[in-house]
Amino acid sequence: MLRGVVEYLRFLFGIGLPADSDGFGHSLWDDVRFAQHFRRCRTIAVTWRPPSADEATAIEADPVMGRFGDDTIGVANVGDEVWVVRDRMWFGWPDPPEFVFFALQGTTIRAAKGFDHWPTAWTPPEPLSRS
């Protein structure tokens, strides 16, 4: 029983989790932190821009971000973070949300969260310009 409790706590706090093929080894605690960070991010006024060719290639080649979403539609530099939004070709129930958001500080992912509705504080890049 004690072993089960210890394994559950290790899972909850993300201790010793490998990156799996269907995710990037984050824990339930990381999900909570990501959701809180995303909630704060969506209240900040940001004007998104389309990624440069080099940025789009680097994001697509990234071992984590490249697996989530089909196309990078927006990039923004906010403070010491780089924010990235990718869209998905297939979305809606039972598929994941239409967009996925990443907040990066250097190479560290500070937040990763799927969302369906573009936040009102954000100005989408020109080609998107939809809600």
Average pLDDT, the chain: 83
Residue 122 has phi, psi (to 5 degrees) of -95, 135
Predicted local confidence at residue 21, as pLDDT: 47
Length of the chain as a residue count: 131
Closest CA to 82 of 58, 107, 62: 107
- Taking only the tens place, the pLDDT of each residue in 70-112 is 999 999 999 999 999 999 888 777 888 899 999 999 988 899 9
pTM for this entry: 0.76
Residue 71 has phi, psi (to 5 degrees) of -135, 140
Predicted local confidence at residue 84, as pLDDT: 97
